[in-house]
Amino acid sequence: MRIVSATDANRQFSSVLRDVSQGETFTVLSRGKPVATIAPAQPLDAQRRAAKAALVARLRKQEAGGERNWTRDELYDR
């Protein structure tokens, strides 16, 4: 990971993008504090799988809530 100031990132944006396309990751600093990360884009499928895994993990940690005052037959139109 490389660190670059916001000013330098702005002035050398084409160069930064070229390096990112080769797999490099940049942290952009503004007034000495990190404000952004520029990293190679992940394929959409990988992002969706990661989001789904995070959601399932979060839901598994939660207790089931609400009352179960219905029957299985009431769930279906028969």
pLDDT 10s digits, 47-68? 899 999 999 999 999 888 777 7
Enclosing domain of residue 48: 2-61
Q: Is residue 34 part of a domain?
A: yes
Say if 39 falls within a structural domain.
yes
Note the pLDDT of residue 78.
64
For residue 31, pLDDT beyond 90: yes
CATH number of the domain at 51, please.
3.40.1620.10
Average pLDDT over residues 1-14: 96
**Looking at the domain assignment, is residue 53 inside a domain?**
yes
Query: The whole model's pTM is what?
Result: 0.56
Distance CA 1, CA 24 (A): 7
The tally of domains found in the chain comes to 1
User: What pLDDT does 2 receive?
Assistant: 96
Residue 28: predicted pLDDT: 98
Asked, for residue 27, whether it belongs to a domain, the answer is yes
